[in-house]
Amino acid sequence: MFLETGEARKLMFSLLLLFITLIIPLHAYAATVPVKSITINDPYVCFASGINFQLTCKISPTNASNKTIVWKSSNTSVATISWKGVVTTKSPGTTIISAETPDRRVRGTCQLYVVGVGVKVKSIKMNVPTLKLSQGVFIPLSVDFRPGNASNKQLKWTSNKSSVVYVSEKGVVSALKPGTAIITATSQDGKKKTSCKVTVTCYSAKPEKMYCGVTSGEKVRKGGNSRESVATAKFGDIIEVNRKVTDSSTGRPWAFVTVNGKIGWMDYSSLFPSKPVWPVAGKLITSDFRTPTRKNHNGVDIEANLGTPIFAIMSGTVVELNNSWKYENGVKGIAANGNYVVIKGFDGNTYSYLHMKTVNVCKGAVVGSGQEIGTVGNTGNCLTKVGGDWVRPGPTSTRGSHLHLGVKNFRGEFVDPKLLMPQNKH
């Protein structure tokens, strides 16, 4: 039976309305890229009351269609946060700062501790008044506060010659080229100042033995303006540096070297320490460096699943390892480390990777920044919380798996590994 003209028009209108309300929105939704995760730059922070500071977050994937973030504070009497992520601390206490998508489906959090203004900063002092560094080296500086229990220990770091010595917002100085620079730390409370004179020199040992720390081959050339190569320095090759000069016309640093028995000139700026990488494919730090409750925790614990690959944060040489820990070994003394690897970095720092499941390198091996050295485990003194109590995982347990990363500087002092690690994960 054929439909009357009026009924046909109603049916066509209904189908058109259905298309507009269902099909088109589904097509538009399929074209969008949803936000999968939000990570705030600092998972735990502590500030005095009456302070303003900026929080930022990373959205994954980077090509998400809608990157709008809604900032919130769970306790506005402790701290508030603006729509731009600027936190204002108000009174002592704890609050959770969250960054959410507008639909509240995805969120990242940060735990903020606010302490009383109480103790004012009277003076600050740099840990070293002067420092001599070889070109390409970077180390963290530290400042002592007087009194030691000052409430606000925030600092602003500056360099009067950033082209010679660059200093990060956390006080890590990088020696960029020969010269002298003054690094100044200024306290947020009271604007107290302290400084360190940093002198950067070229590598000076004659001859100096160093490893080639780059993955691509570096040419050793004949003298003068010749582009003809006599040898190629590959990753891990030993280079004997006999003499160094700077090309007066180009400013490029050249070294007279011996590589694999061949003698020639090489641009030694390419041999500086490589950039650090994040050691595991994850960024959840479950236990931080020397917290108030764990003052002797000389590193950071990074949570990751059992068997997750571990990467060398910096190129260097494996100087110590253990790959034979068993549950029966216990957790006293060196056994507390479980399976582990210690790498002497080309930058002068020593890096320790503890509680590993497997070790994939041998002692004396030269490893590159980003090279896999083993997998995440729960060997040694790996505690995990069960029913409110901290217990050690059993021999077949997958609980408590994490990487403990410890760093010592060239003076043998433990430093916070986060100062050296990049912001982006591996």
Q: Is the pLDDT of residue 270 over 60?
A: no
What share of the chain in percent tops pLDDT 70? 70
Q: Taking the chain, what is the end-to-end CA distance rounded to the nearest angstrom?
A: 68
H or E segment at 205? none
Amino acid found at 99: A
User: What's the rounded mean pLDDT across residues 46-53?
Assistant: 80
Report the alpha-carbon distance of residue 356 to residue 359 in Å, rounded: 7
Q: Nearest-5° angle of CA 410, CA 416, CA 419?
A: 90
More confident residue, 419 or 426: 419
Asked if 300 and 418 count as a contact pair (C-beta separation under 8 A), the reply is yes
Written as six digits, the tokens of 226 are: 């010749």
User: How deeply is 123 buried, as exposed, middle or buried, from its count of CB atoms within 10 A (0-12, 13-18, 19+)?
Assistant: middle
Report which listed range, 191-195, 245-249, 297-301, is most confident: 191-195
Cβ atoms within 10 Å, residue 35: 22
User: How deeply is 12 buried, as exposed, middle or buried, from its count of CB atoms within 10 A (0-12, 13-18, 19+)?
Assistant: exposed
User: What's the rounded mean pLDDT across residues 29-35?
Assistant: 74
What share of the chain in percent tops pLDDT 90? 21
Report the alpha-carbon distance of residue 306 to residue 325 in Å, rounded: 16
Asked if 112 and 87 count as a contact pair (C-beta separation under 8 A), the reply is yes
| Half-sphere CA count of 69, side-chain side, radius 13 A | 25
Asked if 267 and 239 count as a contact pair (C-beta separation under 8 A), the reply is no
Report the alpha-carbon distance of residue 137 to residue 163 in Å, rounded: 14
pLDDT computed for residue 59 by the predictor: 92
Q: Report the range of poorest mean pLDDT among 134-138, 159-163, 312-316, 408-412.
A: 134-138
Helix (H, G, I), strand (E, B) or coil at 8: helix
Tokens 């691509």 belong to which residue?
216
Helix (H, G, I), strand (E, B) or coil at 230: strand
Asked if 319 and 344 count as a contact pair (C-beta separation under 8 A), the reply is yes
pLDDT computed for residue 354 by the predictor: 93
More confident residue, 73 or 132: 73
Cis peptide bond N-terminal to 61, omega within 30: yes
pLDDT computed for residue 421 by the predictor: 74
- What is the tens place of the pLDDT at every residue in 65-106? 888 999 999 999 999 999 989 999 888 889 999 999 988 889
pLDDT computed for residue 259 by the predictor: 79
pLDDT computed for residue 38 by the predictor: 93
**Full DSSP string of 275-337:** PP--SBS---EEE-TTBTTBTT--SEEEE--TT-EEE-SS-EEEEEEE----GGG-SSGGGGG
Written as six digits, the tokens of 206 are: 């004659």
Q: Is the pLDDT of residue 414 over 60?
A: yes
pLDDT computed for residue 118 by the predictor: 64
More confident residue, 344 or 31: 344
User: How deeply is 378 buried, as exposed, middle or buried, from its count of CB atoms within 10 A (0-12, 13-18, 19+)?
Assistant: buried
Written as six digits, the tokens of 105 are: 């489906």
Written as six digits, the tokens of 419 are: 């100062």
Asked if 374 and 358 count as a contact pair (C-beta separation under 8 A), the reply is yes
- What is the tens place of the pLDDT at every residue in 276-296? 678 887 666 777 888 887 888
Written as six digits, the tokens of 307 are: 């068997």
Q: How confident is the model at residue 424 (pLDDT cuts 50, 70, 90)?
A: very low
Q: Report the range of poorest mean pLDDT among 192-196, 207-211, 313-317.
A: 207-211
pLDDT computed for residue 193 by the predictor: 95
Q: How confident is the model at residue 184 (pLDDT cuts 50, 70, 90)?
A: very high
pLDDT computed for residue 198 by the predictor: 92
More confident residue, 248 or 44: 44
**Full DSSP string of 330-376:** -SSGGGGG-EEEEEEETTS-EEEEEEEEEE---TT-EE-TT-EEEEE
- What is the tens place of the pLDDT at every residue in 139-155? 788 899 998 878 778 89
Pairing of strands 86-89, 79-81: antiparallel
- What is the tens place of the pLDDT at every residue in 353-395? 999 999 988 887 767 677 788 999 888 887 665 555 555 665 5
Q: Is the pLDDT of residue 177 over 60?
A: yes
- What is the tens place of the pLDDT at every residue in 306-335? 888 998 888 778 899 988 887 766 666 677
Report the alpha-carbon distance of residue 270 to residue 137 in Å, rounded: 13
Against a cut of 0.85, is the pTM above it? no
**Number of H-type helices and E-type strands within the chain:** 2, 36
Pairing of strands 37-40, 57-60: antiparallel
Cis peptide bond N-terminal to 395, omega within 30: no
Helix (H, G, I), strand (E, B) or coil at 179: strand
pLDDT computed for residue 273 by the predictor: 47
Inter-CA distances, 264 with 166, 224, 231, 273, Å: 32, 10, 8, 22
Report the alpha-carbon distance of residue 424 to residue 60 in Å, rounded: 12
User: What's the rounded mean pLDDT across residues 26-31?
Assistant: 53
Calculate the average pLDDT of the chain: 78
